[in-house]
Amino acid sequence: MFKILVLQALYELSDEAAEFQIKDRLSFQRFLGLGLEGTLPDATTVWLFRERLVQAKAIDKLFAGFDVALKDRGYLAMGREIIDATVVPAPKQRNTEAEKTAIKEGRVSEDWKPAKARQKERDARWSIKYSKAKVREGADPKAAKPVDLAIPVFGYKNHIGIDKAPA
């Protein structure tokens, strides 16, 4: 029964939704150790189990023990995470081979005056941006398959990560 509470916390399921998912998904049944022929717990049974754990003040201890067991096995329990990367374009550089070598080594070229050094993008890199070709206006969208495009871009990658704080 505790595994059902783990599934509810992981997938943010209500008791009724957990009952439906347990009946519907073989992966849930396999995780719970239930067979196709066995009886499955309903929403009321799950609710009563949780209420008894709350009354016994054991639910927090059980989840704390579960977190410790996960950490001991090398798993880091986190909330759901959304990660996005946006390419911020930078002006393309016109560098000589000596200047390119200096930039790759993390140095400033000796030929650069301070004003020129401020204008150079030393941290920007070339990257590939993947996209789909748009269907031409007036063309039959079913006739032409979208084409994958690989567009070279010079600039910075701005990464954003949003993590749901644990409750």
Cα angle 86, 87, 89; round to 5 = 145
Are the C-beta atoms of residues 43 and 16 closer than 8 Å to each other? yes
Domain parsing of the chain, residue ranges: 2-77, 82-163
Indicate whether 165 pLDDT > 90: no
Is a pLDDT exceeding 70 seen at residue 59? yes
pTM as predicted: 0.49
Given this model, what pLDDT does residue 130 score?
Answer: 81
> Are 120 and 136 contacting, i.e. CB atoms less than 8 angstroms apart?
no
pLDDT (average), residues 137-160:
76
Confidence check: pLDDT of 51 > 90: yes
The answer, yes or no, to whether residue 166 has pLDDT greater than 70, is no
- Tell which residue, 89, 81, 84, 80, has the closest CA to residue 159: 84
Instruction: Dump pLDDT digits (tens) for 85-104.
Output: 788 888 888 888 888 888 77
- 3 state DSSP class of 85: strand
